Structure 1
């Protein structure tokens, strides 16, 4: 039985679903993904599952909202005066803005509504408040180096 260890690079396919079963991501769209285990690139529950899998094996991993992107916070839905936005583009609902929090941490904002004087944005991750399910397939194990 060959299973991956911390430091190994694994190639996986996945289907990501919300708690209601809606598919919100999959490697059929973007191709298999390479992940180095032990580097914090993925949720710990997925890393734990992968570390017990053999090439070709499939497993379903459920991750509760609190262990995924956390609960939604309405405090992260704010209005920004239009004059504070970059003038290069006209803001549109669905656009993504990149910013920084006061401590320098990167912040991604999703435009919800565009008004004449302000833009309503959401700083929550799009999957905040959602329980997630990953259907995983381990495709390959590569050694570190």
Structure 2
């Protein structure tokens, strides 16, 4: 039976959860996820887990933060003066916002801390710094 390898287009069903069992994403009830193995479309650890799988095979992959969304990077915390925020915005810790980059692209961020005159914004991915567990089933190798 053939095995998935670098460059193959594959489809997988998956459930992603944190180490405590909290599910953060799943393909259950949806079409399987398609991607090209080794093309950088997936987090490094997920890609590595699928590489070498056979069609129909199921695996559980424990992926450390470094091979997932990386460690929390303090350089991705930004002080934003409240005067620069929309007047009607009442920032709260944990609130999801979008920040515009110079090229116009929107980046999801969240409020880390609210001070008197400044809001500290966190541009790290929500799953940064977290070890992840994925249950993966390879359903197709194209």
TM-score by length of 1: 0.76
**C-alpha distance in 2 between matches for 1:30 and 1:96:** 27
In structure 1, the residue matched to 2:98 is: 97
Aligned to 2:44: 44
Query: Shift of the alpha carbon at 1:84?
Result: 2.8
Q: Could you say which residue in structure 2 is the equivalent of 1:77?
A: 77
Distance 1:59 1:83 in 2: 50
C-alpha contact 1:13 1:33 (8 A) present in aligned 2 = yes
Specify every segment of 5 or more residues in structure 2 that has no aligned partner in the other structure, as ranges.
none
Distance in 2 of aligned mates of 1:21 and 1:48: 22
RMSD: 3.0
Q: Which residue of 1 aligns with 2:111?
A: 111
Verify the 8 A CA contact 2:4 2:53 in the aligned structure 1.
yes
The TM-score, its normalising length taken from structure 2, stands at 0.77
Q: Distance in 1 between matches of 2:36 and 2:87?
A: 38
Q: How many residues align?
A: 140
Return the alpha-carbon distance in structure 1 between the equivalents of residues 96 and 34 of structure 2. 28
Q: Do the aligned partners of 1:97 and 1:111 also contact (CA within 8 Å) in 2? A: no
Tell me if the contact between 2:96 and 2:108 (Cα under 8 Å) persists in the aligned partners.
Answer: no
Could you say what secondary structure the match of 1:28 adopts? Answer: coil
Q: 1:67 to 1:44 in 2, by over 3 A?
A: closer
Post-superposition shift, 1:88? 9.4
- Cα deviation, 1:50-69, whole Å, max 9, x if unaligned, reads 22112211001111122222
- Rounded Cα–Cα distance in structure 2 between residues aligned with 1:44 and 1:54: 19
The answer to whether the Cα contact below 8 Å between 1:91 and 1:114 also exists between their aligned partners in 2 is: no
CA distance in 1, matches of 2:99, 2:30: 23
Tell whether the 8 Å contact from 1:11 to 1:34 is kept in structure 2 after alignment: yes
Query: What secondary structure is seen at the aligned counterpart in 1 of 2:6?
Result: coil
